[in-house]
Amino acid sequence: MSQLPILHWNDVYRVRPQKISPTSSETIDVTQFAGLLDDIRDQWPLRDDGKRDGLLLFSGDVFSPSVDSSVTRGSHMVRSFITKSYA
């Protein structure tokens, strides 16, 4: 049986640090989150063309309803996604 690794997340509104959970004091920012995604993807098997074999899925809102997006019109999120080639 073949396997396909899938990494999925949704509803990302901010690039500044935010709590990992409501009851935790630990925070994560967009750079740390991108690094976490990269660490997970680095564990995926290599294909013959040298790329990783897996599926990266984002669903949900990226531009609203955050306060940040109402000021930047979502431009701060577009830069974050394009910089990491997730777009």
Residue 18 included in any domain: yes
Instruction: Outline where 1-87 has alpha helix (H).
Output: 30-41, 67-72, 75-83
What confidence tens digit (pLDDT) does each residue in 56-68 have? 888 766 655 666 6
Residue 1 included in any domain: no
Domain hosting residue 33, numbered range: 6-83
Task: Sort strands 18-19 and 27-28 into parallel, antiparallel or unpaired.
Answer: antiparallel
The per-residue pLDDT for 10 is 79
Residue 74 included in any domain: yes
Counting as low any pLDDT under 70, the low residues of the chain are 12-15, 60-87
Number of domains in the chain: 1
Nearest to 12 by CA among 40, 39, 31: 31
The per-residue pLDDT for 87 is 43
SS3 69: helix
Length of the chain: 87
